[in-house]
Amino acid sequence: MSGARGTMSGARHARRRARALGATLLLAAACSDTAGPSEQSPVVRAVYLVPANRTVDASYAIGIANAMRHLQRWYFDGLGTGRTFVLTDPVVSVRHSSHTADWYAATPNGDPVRAFFNNVADDGLAIVGGRANDPTSVWVFFVDADRACGQAGAAGTSGVAVFTASYLRRFTGRVSAVACVDDPTASCPAVGAVGHEVGHAFGLHHPAACEAGTADCPANALLWLGHTTYPAAVLTTDDWKVLGASPFFRQTSPSAEAFSCSNLLAPAPSAGLRRAFSLAMRPPAAASAAAPVLAC
C-alpha cells in the first residue's frame, strides 16, 4: 500500500469540502461469489466490507450497487464515446472483516489523517487478495465503520478508493445530520464524491487551473467541486484523455433506464436489483460472532 499512501489526496479533499459545503430485496443472485475475482478484463470491484461487530444490511449493498451504476452511466454520458468503466456482475461483493468497526479509526497507520484509509485499504485488499495499482482491478471499499472527524473519510488513489459508513447511510436515506463537517450532505453529493475519488483511482487529477487558483478553473468539474452538485458536474478535456487511455473504460452499455441519485433504493432499474450483490460467507471460525441478516 505504499504507493497508495504516497499520493493520496483525501486530506486536501476534506479541507476543500469543509470550505465548499457547508425493499424489496431480490436475493436470487446471492451466495454465488465467494472465491474472489473471476473476470480477466479490467473491472471496477465494489466491496461492502462488514466489520466483525456489524451484520450485513442488504439495503447498503443495493445502495452501493445503484450508486456505482449511476456513476457508470454518468461517466458514459460525460465521455460521449460509448465507453465507461466496467462493473462486476454482481456489482457488489459482501466481505467480512475480523476487525471491529472502531478498529479502522483507532489504529495508527502512517499519517494520522490517512490512518482510516490505510487501515481499510490494507484490510480490504488482504481480504479480497487485491493490491494497489492492480492492472485488472480498481477496488472500491465501502466499510460499515466511522472515521474520526479529521481523518479522510472518502479518498481514492492508485486503483483504490475508500468510503465510510456515512456514505452507506446517505445512500439509504438514514441520516439527516452530518457527523463531520465534510461528510456528504445528501445522497447525490455522496454519489458525486464517490465519482470524484474513484476518478482519482482511475488516475484523474484536480484541474491544474483550480489548483493554481486561476480564473479559468472549471469549478463544476467532478474532480473539483462538481461532486457537491452532482449529477450537475463535468469531465474536463484532461479527464477525457486519461479515461480514453484507461483499460477500465471500454465499449459498454450501462443501464438504459434513468434513475435518480437522490433515492438509490426506490426506483431501481430493472437490471439493478436482479444481481446487485453477492455474499461471501463468514469464515467458519467467526460464524457464531454475529448472525447474518441474509443466509444462503
CB of 227 to Zn ion, least distance (A): 8
Q: Which is nearer to Zn ion, 15 or 274 (CB)?
A: 15
Q: Which is nearer to Zn ion, 61 or 233 (CB)?
A: 233
Determine contact, residues 149/181, Cβ cutoff 8 Å. Answer: yes
CB of 36 to Zn ion, least distance (A): 29
* Sole window of 3-11, 227-235, 237-245, 250-258 interacting with Zn ion (rule: CB under 5 A): 3-11
Q: Please give the residues from 8 up to 27 whose contact with Zn ion meets the rule CB under 5 A.
A: 9, 13
Distance (Å, whole) CA 32 – CA 28: 10
Q: Which is nearer to Zn ion, 14 or 94 (CB)?
A: 14
In 3D, which of 211, 209, 228, 252 has the Cα closest to residue 77? 252
Three cell numbers at 222? 467532478
22: Cβ contacts below 8 Å, ≥ 6 apart: 185
- The count of residues interacting with Zn ion (CB under 5 A) is 2
CB of 219 to Zn ion, least distance (A): 13
Stretch 134-173: interaction string toward Zn ion, x if CB under 5 A: ----------------------------------------
Determine contact, residues 202/248, Cβ cutoff 8 Å. Answer: yes
Three cell numbers at 66? 445503484
Distance (Å, whole) CA 118 – CA 115: 5
Q: Which is nearer to Zn ion, 13 or 96 (CB)?
A: 13
**What's the chain's Rg over C-alpha atoms?**
18
- Binding footprint of Zn ion on the chain (CB under 5 A): 9, 13
